[in-house]
Amino acid sequence: MQDALQAKRRKLLTELFRDYAGPTFAIRLWNGWRWVSLAGERPAFTVVLETPSALSALIANPNEVTLGEAFLPREINIEGDIFSAFFVSEYLASRPRNLLERAKDLLVRKLSGADRWAHHGAEHSKNRDRAAISYHYDQPVEFFRPWLGSTLAYSCAYFRTLNDSLELAQAQKLELICQKLRLRPFERFLDIGCGWGSLILHAAQWHNVCAHGITLSGMQAEEAQNRIENAELKEKCAVELRDYRDCEQFSGSFDKIASVGMFEHVGLKNLLNYFHVVQKLLRPGGTFLNHGIARSASSPVRDNSFIERCVFPDCRLVTFSQVTNAAEAAGLEVRDVENLREHYELTLRRWVDGLRKNEKEVRKFVPETTYRTWLLYKAGSAAAFGRGDIGVYQVPFSRPNQGKCNLPLTREDWYATSNREHEIEV
């Protein structure tokens, strides 16, 4: 009887993965039974199914939500190369439905808590955005510091070589943004979504600007303020809790503006208003740099997104063409485009390594499910950048002043003067 059951399992898995062309992998069940996708090959990773329900999550209705929710409580584990495991999830999600059992939608909703944000108001209202940002970012800074590194920069780093440390690559990213903005002493600079204050601190210290940061995360604002005081930069730096939509009194106040890893939270319906707000805050002839993630136009919108349900509520990525269309409609002019997709995959892989190496330390400050959520989210994002499903774009915009943008004819100064690693503290 047992032999017959094992034979059925092998037949089912062999049929299911008949067209699979990714790295060799193994599946191990809760009772020790094991199957390898390619006999005689050493698996790059093993999918460990700890419970019968985990088998249903893997085969019956495989998508980001069901697999992610099985991973968080350790019903599914990955041994070995976690990045390669996403080849399996992508393959299963593409299988014809007649090969897969559909899990009941009601159960998915019950497990995921998909309706938990409804009481905060309409999607991308100010209250709901504040709640979503707080849900993601309001973790103790001690959770982030071991794997983000000393810069506390939570966005794509900039690697000049594959051997660059994470800290150096993040410092290079901060400097490159300042160079692209061409910050000058005593200019007024705004960072929309300033995180823990990394960019405003760098801009004030190295470019002598008056830097102002806004964020919706109370814990980020508190840590940013502590860093400003410790760096003795209170005369040049300020940070406050503020929605970008509540900045009317600053109209035309800023020479330069940056938004790094923030506009992903704006939402398509608010995208035009977002750029309108930036255009009004920027003085005529000023420069705005938008750094953020957009999905490939060939990458379909996912109905069941683990990231949206469990990590970034209400976060649906737009395409790059939607970004530029909205910006131009708001009166901003595109001056350059740089896709840092490969840099973000490298960044995410460093973060995953840091999370794994510092698991004991970071789990002192967050529950195990939170730790595993972030680990899966970062590894899955690295896989998505590696496939080209998403990219991260740095786009300098200008607000022309009667056609004049106060910019040089070439971009040579971005790179000719930004090679300052010996001056940057890492």
Tokens of 83: 């990045």
Burial class of 122 by CB neighbour count within 10 A (0 to 12, 13 to 18, 19+): exposed
| Degrees, nearest 5: CA angle 373-376-379 | 145
Beta strands 338-339; 390-398: pairing state: antiparallel
The one-letter amino acid at 86:
F
The distance in angstroms from the start CA to the end CA of the chain is 62
Phi/psi for 105 (5° steps) reads -60, -35
Q: Could you identify the residue written with the tokens 């590696």?
A: 386
Q: Residue 58: what pLDDT? A: 72
- Cα–Cα distance measured from residue 417 to residue 302, given in angstroms and rounded to the nearest whole number: 42
Q: Supply the DSSP string of 339-389, one letter for each residue.
A: E-HHHHHHHHHHHHHHHHHTHHHHTTTS-HHHHHHHHHHHHHHHHHHHHTS
Q: Residue 301: what pLDDT? A: 66
| Chain Cα centroid distance, residue 80 | 23
Rounded to a whole number, what is the largest CA-CA distance in the chain? 83
- CB atoms under 10 Å from CB of 248, counted, come to 9
H helix or E strand, kind and range, residue 129: helix 126-137
Q: Which domains does the chain have, with CATH numbers?
A: 2-112 (3.30.1050), 126-416 (3.40.50.150)
Q: Residue 117: what pLDDT? A: 44
3-class DSSP state for residue 334?
Answer: strand
Task: Answer whether 0.75 is exceeded by the pTM.
Answer: no
Return per-residue pLDDT of the chain as tens, 426 residues. Answer: 445 556 766 777 787 788 898 999 998 887 777 889 988 889 999 999 887 677 766 766 666 777 777 888 888 899 999 898 888 888 887 766 554 443 223 222 333 333 444 445 555 455 654 555 455 556 889 999 999 999 999 999 999 999 999 999 999 999 999 999 999 999 999 999 999 999 999 999 999 999 999 998 888 999 999 999 999 999 999 999 999 999 988 888 999 999 999 988 888 889 999 999 999 999 999 999 999 999 998 876 665 555 555 555 556 789 999 999 999 999 999 999 999 999 999 999 999 999 999 999 999 988 888 888 889 889 988 998 999 999 999 999 999 998 998 888 898 888 765 445 434 444
3-class DSSP state for residue 163?
Answer: coil
Nearest to 290 by CA among 189, 386, 191, 153: 191
Q: For the packed helices 64-71 and 105-112, what is the interaxial angle rounded to 10 degrees?
A: 50
